[in-house]
Amino acid sequence: MTDPTHKSPTDRTKIRRLPELANHDQEMLHTIIDEAYVCHVAFRAGDDVHCIPTAHWRVGDSIYIHGANGSRMVKALLSGASASVAITHLDGLVLAKTAFNHGMNYRSAVIYGCFDLIENDDDKLAAFDYFMEKISKGRKDEVRRGNSKELGATSLLKLSLEEAAVKVSNAVPSDSEKDIDRQVWTGVLPLAVVRKSPISADNNAIAAPEYVQHWAD
């Protein structure tokens, strides 16, 4: 039997603020991750805490990130300390009659755990193929894959999705009775990430493949 929900909340992933917005659907977690190209990674390095944006992709129940060998982030993430990765989609601003009741609609995932280093070149190539498939389906068979020098210069890191907190707000404005007669427009101002028309490189001489032609559809 498969379990449609992710694991029970831990002390780190239990949602205390507006717990009714907690979402335990694994498909929602995967969609939040897959719709985004960039996550934010929080980690400790010495006495400092860093919050660094980086590209991510998902394969099954893990996410991957990559970085230059020996970078501060890579070194810190491989030090054994637990990290935190957040991915957030802002879907709209919720405008109520009172300042206090304004809010946002969003879908967010925060994942906790220790990253593992993937060292084997075949495993790295396979994982990077998934990354290319996410960027453009089919393109992995067109580009030159990483050679041993390029793979050797890049650290590939993998994090399990086992410990994740997902929070989804899809609300309409709500005010208490005593403010309801106030003459203020209420509603939602939506925001969305969209794909714009592709821009060919100046020196590109190749016809746009299907995935480029339909990028902005």
- Taking CB under 8 A as the criterion, which residues in 14-73 touch a second copy? 16-17, 37-38, 40-44, 47-53, 55, 67-68, 71-72
For a second copy, the binding residue among 35, 121, 152, 193 (CB under 8 A) is 193
159, 75, 57: which is closest to 111 by C-alpha? 159
Interaction of residue 148 with a second copy, rule CB under 8 A? no
The yes or no reply on residue 117 touching a second copy (CB under 8 A) is no
120 binds a second copy (CB under 8 A): no
First to last CA, the chain: 38
Q: Tell me the backbone φ, ψ of residue 170, rounded to 5 degrees.
A: -140, 70
Interaction of residue 142 with a second copy, rule CB under 8 A: yes
Q: How many residues at the interface with a second copy, by CB under 8 A?
A: 90
Are 171 and 105 within 8 A, CB to CB? yes
Largest CA distance in the chain: 68
Q: How far apart are CA 196 and CA 35, in angstroms?
A: 16
Say how far apart CA 108 and CA 31 lie, in whole Å: 10
Is position 164 an interface residue for a second copy (rule: CB under 8 A)?
no
83 part of the interface to a second copy, by CB under 8 A: yes
**Which residue, 24 or 72, has its beta carbon nearer to a second copy?**
72
Q: Which is nearer to a second copy, 1 or 144 (CB)?
A: 144
